[in-house]
Structure 1
Amino acid sequence: MTVGCVAGDEESFDVCKELFDPTLEDRPARRLRARRRAQDRAQDRPQPRHPAGRSRVRTGLPCLPPHCGRCHPIQQLSALKSMTEAEQQQPIDDHVLFDKPASPLLLASGMARDWPDARGIWHSDKKTFLVWINEEDHLRVIPMQKGGNMKENPHLGYILTCPSNLGTGLRAGVHIKLPHLGKHEKFPEVLKRLRLQKRGTGGVDTAAVGGIFDVSNTDRLGFSEVELVQMVVDGVKLLIEMEQRLEQGQAIHDLVPAQK
C-alpha cells in the first residue's frame, strides 16, 4: 500500500506537526536553507558521449488543493478544457504539458477535482520556458531544454503543497537512458548514496520505458539550490560512467560512491 502526506492548508504543518515533522526528518532533512539562484556556481554538466535527453529545473507557487475552492481567481482559467484529447497528447509526449493525475496519492488528495477545469499552460515559442497552471500547485515555473546544461536554467524556490518539496521547492531532473545500469542490482543503492531518485518520464508513479529514467534530487530541505543542482550534475556524470562500463561488459563495483 502506498501512503503519502499532503498539506491541506498552511496551518497543517503546525496543527499536524506530529505527523509532518517525523516525515520531513526521515527524508532526511534538518535545515531549511533556500532562496535564490542555484546554477551560478554549479560546475560541469553531463558529457555529450552519453547525453542526457532533457534537463528541467522546476519550482512553484503553492495552492494546497484540499483547501482550495473554485472561487479562487486563478481557477477561472479554462485553457486545458478547450483542448481535445488529441491536441493534449502531443505536448504531453513532449513533456511540455502535464497529464491527468493517475497516482492514488494525487487522486486521494483532490488533485484531479473538477479536471480539467481551471488547468492550463503557457510556454515560450521554443518551449524552453513553461508555466503550468493548477496541475498540483497554482503555478509551476519550469525552464526546460534538451541536453544537460543546467547552468542555463535560472530559478527560485519556496514552499509547496507536497511535504517532499518544502524548502527549496526545487527538483532538478534529467531524462537519461540507462538500459544496462537500470537493470543492475546496485542501481537503487547507487541512487540512494547519490541522494537521487528515479521515476519514469511520465511523472510520479510511472515506470521507465526503453531504459529512460527521470533522475532528480531526492532532497529539498537541508541543502541550497546550488548544492542540489550540483548533486544532480555530479550524480548524472557518474551514472553515465557506470552505464558506459556496463556497455563494455566491465564491472562497476569500484565506482559505487560513498553515501553523500
Structure 2
Amino acid sequence: MPFGNTHNKFKLNYKPEEEYPDLSKHNNHMAKVLTPDLYKKLRDKETPSGFTLDDVIQTGVDNPGHPFIMTVGCVAGDEESYTVFKDLFDPIIQDRHGGYKPTDKHKTDLNHENLKGGDDLDPNYVLSSRVRTGRSIKGYTLPPHCSRGERRAVEKLSVEALPASAFWVPGYPLGARKARSQAETEVLQTCDWEPGAPHPCPPVPKGRDCVWTKECIYFPGHNDNKSFLVWVNEEDHLRVISMEKGGNMKEVFRRFCVGLQKIEEIFKKAGHPFMWNEHLGYVLTCPSNLGTGLRGGVHVKLANLSKHAKFEEILTRLRLQKRGTGGVDTAAVGAVFDISNADRLGSSEVEQVQLVVDGVKLMVEMEKKLEKGQAIDDMIPAQK
C-alpha cells in the first residue's frame, strides 16, 4: 500500500508491546538491533510514501535466519527510509559493514582504467568472471513497496532509455512477452538469483523483466560468452551484470563500468538519476548492498587450497568470501568456488574488484604450490 497508511494507524490502537514481534528465535541483524523501546519509538513514523517500521522489518520477521549467512532482516521501501528509520538502520549498517559509522562517507570510482591487472588470471583455474550491481531510480519507491503503476513506469522508462545504450537489443517487454525456450527460461531464473535466500519481493513481482543485449548469449547454468544484461524490477529497480568465460576480469570490469555509466547518463537526461548520497553511496533496497552494490566474483578451481586448514582464514584476510557456484545455498562442485569481494560500503568499485583480482591471483599461486606438494605458509597474507 505505497500511498495509503491506514493499516499502520490502525495498529496504533494497540500498545507497542502488543504489536512488537516475537524475535526470540531470530538470528539476523534486525533482530539484534530492534528492542521493544526502539519499536515503540519508531512504530508511528512513516516515510512520505507511507513506508512504516513494520514494513521495514517484515522480511526479517518472516525469515528468522539462514543456515549459512547472517541475513540483514530488513529492507528500505524508498530513499527516505534510511533517514526516517535511521535509529534502526544505522546500527544495522554499522554491524553489517564492519563498523561503518553514521558519519562516514563512501567512495565511488567507476574509472575502469584505475584497476591494476586483472587480465592475467589463469584460465586453467579461473573459469568465469562476473561483476554485478543494483541501481535505484529517483522518483520511485523501491520494489518492496512500489505500486503496479510504478513498476510499469520503471519498466517503460528502462525500455525507452536503454536502446540509446550501445549494449541494447530488445528483450521480453511485459506487454509483448514472447514464448521462451526452456533454456532461456532457466537462464532468467538462475543467472543472478541466489536460491533460497530470504527476499523482500514477491517470487515473481509484477513488472519484472530481463533486458537482453547484443553481447548476451547464455547457456543454462554457465557464463560461457561475453555478456552484459539488465534486469528490471527485481530486488532493485535495475540489476546490471557483466560476465564472460575465463579470467579476464579487467575486460569484464571495463564493460561493466562503460555500460553502467552510459545507462546512468541516459537516466539522468530523462530526469531520473540514480539514488546516491555521500554517506550511503548508491541507495539500494537491502542495506547489505549499500555503497557500491557490487559483487565481483570468479568461479575458480581450488581443489587443494579448499582443503587447507587455513583456507577460511586466508579468505578473511583477503576480504573475500566464498559460495558454491549455484549461489549462496550451494556447495562447491568439483572444488569450484564462487569467490567474491566481501565489502560493499566504505570502499570504491575499483578497490573492491582489485581485492578480487589480487586475492584470486594469490590463491591460484597457492593452489599450484599445493599441487606440487609444497607448503604455502610463507604465502599467507596479512589482514587486508
Which band: TM-score by shorter chain? 0.7 to 0.9
Q: Separation in 1 of the partners of 2:376 and 2:177? A: 46
Q: Separation in 1 of the partners of 2:123 and 2:333? A: 21
What are the Cα deviations for residues 87-125 of structure 1, in whole angstroms up to 9, with x where unaligned? 422x369x7x345x632411xx2242547x633231324
Listed as ranges, the matches of 1:85-234 within 5 Å are 85-89=182-186, 91=187, 97-99=191-193, 102-106=195-199, 109-114=200-205, 118-125=208-215, 127=217, 128-152=227-251, 153-154=253-254, 155=257, 156=260, 158-234=282-358
The residue aligned with 1:59 is 133
Structure 1: state its 5+ residue gaps: none
Listed as ranges, the matches of 1:27-38 within 5 Å are 27-28=97-98, 29-30=100-101, 31-38=104-111
Structure 2 residue matching 1:258: 3-state secondary structure: coil
Higher helix share: 2
- Could you tell me whether the CA contact under 8 Å between 1:38 and 1:229 is conserved in 2? no
Structure 2 residue matching 1:173: 3-state secondary structure: strand
What are the Cα deviations for residues 206-235 of structure 1, in whole angstroms up to 9, with x where unaligned? 322221111111111111222111111101
The residue aligned with 1:16 is 85
Give the structure-1-normalised TM-score. 0.83
- Could you tell me whether the CA contact under 8 Å between 1:32 and 1:167 is conserved in 2? no
Q: How far off its partner does 1:242 sit? A: 1.6
Structure 2: state its 5+ residue gaps: 1-64, 157-172, 218-226, 261-280
Q: Separation in 2 of the partners of 1:103 and 1:216? A: 19
- Could you tell me whether the CA contact under 8 Å between 1:130 and 1:144 is conserved in 2? no
Aligned residues: 253
Listed as ranges, the matches of 1:45-84 within 5 Å are 45=118, 46-48=120-122, 50-62=124-136, 64-72=142-150, 73-74=153-154, 77-78=173-174, 82-83=179-180
Q: How far off its partner does 1:196 sit? A: 0.8
Structure 2 residue matching 1:222: 3-state secondary structure: coil
What are the Cα deviations for residues 134-185 of structure 1, in whole angstroms up to 9, with x where unaligned? 2321211222222222322232583222212211222211111112222333
CA shift in 2, pair 1:58/1:114, >3 Å: closer
Structure ranking higher on relative contact order (CA contacts 8 Å, 6+ apart)? 1
Q: Separation in 2 of the partners of 1:8 and 1:247? A: 50
Structure 2 residue matching 1:67: 3-state secondary structure: coil
CA shift in 2, pair 1:13/1:206, >3 Å: farther
Structure 2 residue matching 1:56: 3-state secondary structure: strand
Q: Report which stretch shifted further, 68-77 or 242-251.
A: 68-77
Q: How far off its partner does 1:49 sit? A: 6.4
- After TM superposition, the runs of 4+ consecutive aligned structure 1 residues lying more than 4 A away are 79-82
Q: Separation in 2 of the partners of 1:51 and 1:80? A: 39
What are the Cα deviations for residues 7-36 of structure 1, in whole angstroms up to 9, with x where unaligned? 232222223323322222232135433334
Q: Separation in 2 of the partners of 1:188 and 1:194? A: 10
CA shift in 2, pair 1:114/1:190, >3 Å: same
Q: How far off its partner does 1:195 sit? A: 0.7
Q: Separation in 1 of the partners of 2:330 and 2:317? A: 22
Q: Separation in 2 of the partners of 1:184 and 1:6? A: 37
> What CA RMSD, in Å, does the superposition of the two structures yield over aligned residues?
2.8
CA shift in 2, pair 1:158/1:81, >3 Å: farther
- Could you tell me whether the CA contact under 8 Å between 2:123 and 2:247 is conserved in 1? no
